[in-house]
Chain A
Amino acid sequence: MNSHDPFTLALSLILSGDPGLFGIIGLSLQVSLSAVLVASLIGLPLGAAIALFRFPGRGVAITLLNALMGLPPVVAGLLVYLSLSRAGPLGQFGLLFTPTAMVIAQTLLVLPIIAALTRQAIEDLWEEYREQLQSMGSGRARAIPTLLWDARITLTTAVLAGFGRASAEVGAVLIVGGNIEGVTRVMTTAIALETSKGDLPLALALGLVLLALVAAVNATAYLLGQASRRHMQ
Chain B
Amino acid sequence: MRHPRRWPSLASLLLLLATPSAQVTADRPFITLASTTSTEQSGLFRHIVPQFTARTGIEVRVVAVGTGQAFAIGRRGDADALLVHHRAGEDAFVAEGYGTERRDVMYNDFVLVGPRADPAGVAETRSIQDALAKIAASESAFASRGDDSGTHRKELQLWGMAQIDPAGQWYRQLGSGMGPTLNTAAGMDAYVLTDRATWLSFGNRQNLMILFEGEASLFNPYGSIPLNPARFEWVKADLAQQWHAWLVGKEGQAAIAGHHIDGAPLFFPMSEDRAGRVE
Contact = CB atoms under 8 A, between A and B. Distances in A.
Asked whether any CB of A lies within 8 Å of a CB of B in the complex, the reply is: yes
Interface of A: 23, 26-27, 29-31, 33-34, 37, 85-88, 91, 94, 96-100, 102-103, 178-184, 193, 195-200, 224, 228, 231-232
Interface residues of B, number: 41
A154 B50 CA distance: 49
A29 B2 CA distance: 29
Given A86-B78, A197-B202, A199-B203, A183 B3 contact: no
A30 B202 contact: no
Contact of A30 (B3, B19, B77, B205): B19
Contacts of B64: 178-179
A198 B62 contact: no
Contacts of A196: 37, 41, 176-180, 183
Contacts of A27: 20-21
Interface in B11-31: 14, 17-21, 23-24
Interface of B: 2-3, 6, 10, 14, 17-21, 23-24, 32, 37, 41, 45-46, 61-65, 75-78, 176-180, 182-183, 186, 201-205, 232, 234
Contacts of A97: 32, 61, 63, 78
A188 to B, nearest CB: 15
Q: Which of A34, A85, A99, A183 counts the most B-chain CB atoms under 10 A from its CB?
A: A183
Contacts of A100: 20
A195 B183 contact: yes
A30 to B, nearest CB: 5
Contacts of B63: 97, 178-180
Contacts of A85: 76-78
Given A196-B41, A197-B202, A198-B204, A228 B177 contact: no
Contacts of A99: 20-21, 24
Contacts of A179: 63-64
Given A26-B21, A87-B76, 17 more contacts: A27-B21, A33-B17, A86-B76, A87-B78, A99-B20, A99-B21, A103-B20, A178-B61, A180-B63, A182-B23, A184-B24, A198-B186, A198-B202, A198-B204, A199-B203, A200-B203, A231-B2
Contacts of A193: 41, 179
A102 B178 CA distance: 25
Contact of B17 (A29, A183, A228): A29
**Most chain B Cβ neighbours within 10 Å, of A31, A102, A178:** A178
4 interchain residue pairs of minimum CB distance: A196-B179, A198-B204, A178-B63, A99-B20
Contact of B3 (A34, A103, A228): A228
Contacts of B177: 196
17 contacts: A34-B19, A34-B20, A86-B78, A86-B232, A97-B61, A102-B20, A179-B64, A181-B46, A196-B180, A196-B183, A197-B203, A198-B183, A198-B203, A200-B203, A224-B6, A224-B10, A228-B6
A188 B186 CA distance: 23
Nearest to B206: A198
Contacts of A231: 2
